[in-house]
Amino acid sequence: MPIDDNIKRLLVEAELKNLSAGSVFSIQDISVALSKKQLLSFLSAYLDQGEVSQVIPNIYYKVKFSNLFNPPRALPPDLSKVLAAITRLTGETFQYDGGYCANRLGLSTQVPLYHVLHTNGRSRRFKLAGVDVVLNHTDDQRLLQYPLQKVGMAISALYYLGPNVVDDKIIKAIKDQLSPEEYAKLLSADLPKWIKRLTSDYENWTATCIRL
């Protein structure tokens, strides 16, 4: 038996109440069967009051406020939570751009001015807290391994730096940033031949040094 729209609205409001502030969600995260248009309609009052904001079409943010300000100030949504919500909705995979990864892993001092990510979805961009988020489509599934994880960031950084820059020092720096389990995942990942060769050469060199 179909559920009346008023009951659906009450159920959605109950689920929204139980969401913690700072949560990012979509229709995929609501247990009630409804259309995207219905969800937007049910959330309209919360959107008008500033309790919920729409990050991009069909992705919503239950606003978290900081009490360090008077009056309390709305905090921006966390990018990783936004990407996770998009993944749950569309099935897309995301990976941080190599420039960002190289900086985070201490391999580069260049600080990106905006967020760039690889995706197996369509290319597009949106703003988050006034900063551009650029999603670039890639067909290279190897670049999307271990998405948004440290191992994946290492792969993306290696792609970005390229065979003319990556050397034993870079491999060592990456190894030092990863746990033994993460480094083992990196070595066993599906990687371009030049990365496989450089990591193999490094491991052979360190093994030789240990024996000596």
Within 10 angstroms of residue 106's Cβ, the number of other Cβ atoms is 12
Tens digit of each residue's pLDDT (9 = 90 or more) over 91-104: 999 999 999 999 99
Question: pTM, whole model, 2 decimals?
Answer: 0.88
From start to end of the chain, where are the E strands?
24-25, 52-56, 59-62, 64-66, 73-75, 94-96, 115-119, 124-128, 131-137
Mean residue pLDDT of the chain comes to 92
Per-residue pLDDT at 3: 73
Confidence of residue 211 (pLDDT cuts 50, 70, 90): low
Tens digit of each residue's pLDDT (9 = 90 or more) over 32-61: 889 999 999 999 999 999 999 999 999 999
Confidence of residue 2 (pLDDT cuts 50, 70, 90): low
Per-residue pLDDT at 207: 66
